[in-house]
Structure 1
Amino acid sequence: MQSLQNFGLKNHFLLAMPHLEDPNFAGSLSYLCDHDENGTMGVIVNRPLELTLDALFEQLELKGDDSPHRQAPVYYGGPAHKDRGFILHRGDSTPWDSSIQVAEDIALTTSMDILQALAAGTGPEQFLVCLGCAGWEAGQLEQELLDNAWLTVDGRTDILFDVPAEQRLGAAAGILGVDLNLMTREAGHS
């Protein structure tokens, strides 16, 4: 049996179990962008804020009046670095200033140049702009998995970019054949 320490969770969804009551993560679907011996980093992808890109462009003094992306929601990405933007997007050949390739077709960019491109109406066509991120120290997520706080499943671009935010958690659970609404709020071990 493969150790959780060696199990790569990059490009996976992390589904909060119904009994997870931490207000930062209850009912959340996170997409994991990095997982190694130093810890885990991801963004919550199913919690739109009452903030649109138009308002964000205005706050950042970016001219976005003609952008087709103005009404796109901004998401609560997690409790860490809440003042920073994390843009999860379909990978493209654009060399953004600060970007990591998460999967063959998914990248995470944290540099201002991608927001400038979105304000100008260019940039990636499919994206999620998140304020903040989620992070776990080395071994922390593995312990939480052993404690049955989370389910994991391979990440999918259709769920990230084509499914409405309020349906993403259920869609990810559906990959496993699980209906989270039918699960007990009590944690258990077998």
Structure 2
Amino acid sequence: MSSFLEDGLLIANPALSEMPKFESIAGRAIYIVQHSSDGAVGVSMNKNYSKSLDEIAGISPLLSHLSSKELVTTKVLAGGPVADDRPWIMGRNPENYKSTIRNASLALNFDEQAFIDNAAHHVPVCGIGTFGWGPGQLENELASSLWHFYPTTRDALERIPFGHDFSGAVDLLIVMKNTELKRKGRVSSFLDRLTTW
């Protein structure tokens, strides 16, 4: 099986809000970090925790290694219902740690050293929790129209008329994948907008 869904964006079908089994994923935009015959792993890009990075770092020690100046957004993403107590950092860090899931564009890291090594040029975001699918499960959900799939090239993301609920996730992916940051702080209005999203 090919990894055709890898490095793609899934948007939950709005009709899921009417289905109790899937109600919790309605309105989610999921970035697929890895997809293979063994299943898929992704993270939600459009739901944030209400607490700040500093507040959550008091509960989750791994996040205390991070500086908000080195992150694309100071929001901590609520990545999904799986391992919802496990923090991660995702960006363009080239290193392979003990706990890394990567594709050709981005790496999802759970290893403490990745948090320590974090740098602004990795164009990183942080979050807690993931989405996961077993073998063939995501393909079946797509065939059942539970999700809409979009490639995450810059051209594709900029041409799709996403609703307001998903614009933050799309902008975040465009920055992470396609922007070369030249900053000491956040210098562009585009990045400033993301920090308040």
Deviates more, 1:54-63 or 1:139-148: 54-63
Shift of 1:100: 3.1
SS in 2 for 1:82: strand
SS in 2 for 1:19: helix
Deviations 1:27-66 (A, max 9, x none): 0100001111111110001001112221233221876697
Shift of 1:96: 4.2
- 1:111 aligned partner: 111
SS in 2 for 1:167: helix
Runs of 4+ in 1 over 3 A off after TM superposition: 61-67, 92-97, 122-125, 156-159, 168-172
- 1:33 aligned partner: 33
Contact 1:13–1:30 (Cα < 8 Å) also in 2? yes
Contact 1:15–1:169 (Cα < 8 Å) also in 2? no
SS in 1 for 2:54: helix
AA aligned to 2:25 is F
- 1:99 aligned partner: 100
**CA separation of 1:57 and 1:170: change in aligned 2, threshold 3 A:** closer
- 1:74 aligned partner: 76
AA aligned to 1:68 is K
Aligned partners of 1:69 and 1:96: how far apart in 2? 19
Residues 1:130 and 2:121 are matched in the alignment: no
**CA separation of 1:69 and 1:53: change in aligned 2, threshold 3 A:** farther
Output aligned runs, 1:159-170, within 5 Å: 167-168=167-168
Contact 2:42–2:130 (Cα < 8 Å) also in 1? yes
- 2:183 aligned partner: none
Match of 1:16 among 12, 17, 20: 12
Contact 2:100–2:108 (Cα < 8 Å) also in 1? yes
Aligned partners of 2:168 and 2:124: how far apart in 1? 15
Contact 2:78–2:127 (Cα < 8 Å) also in 1? yes
AA aligned to 1:81 is A
Deviates more, 1:125-134 or 1:67-76: 67-76
Identity of aligned residues (%): 25
Q: By percentage of residues, which structure has more strand?
A: 1
Aligned partners of 2:75 and 2:67: how far apart in 1? 17
Output aligned runs, 1:45-60, within 5 Å: 45-59=45-59, 60=61
TM-score of the pair, normalised by structure 2: 0.67
Is there any run of 5+ residues in structure 2 with no aligned partner, and where? 158-163, 173-197
Shift of 1:14: 0.7
Deviations 1:4-42 (A, max 9, x none): x54621101011111112233100100001111111110
Shift of 1:169: 5.7
Shift of 1:95: 4.9
Report how many residues are paired: 159
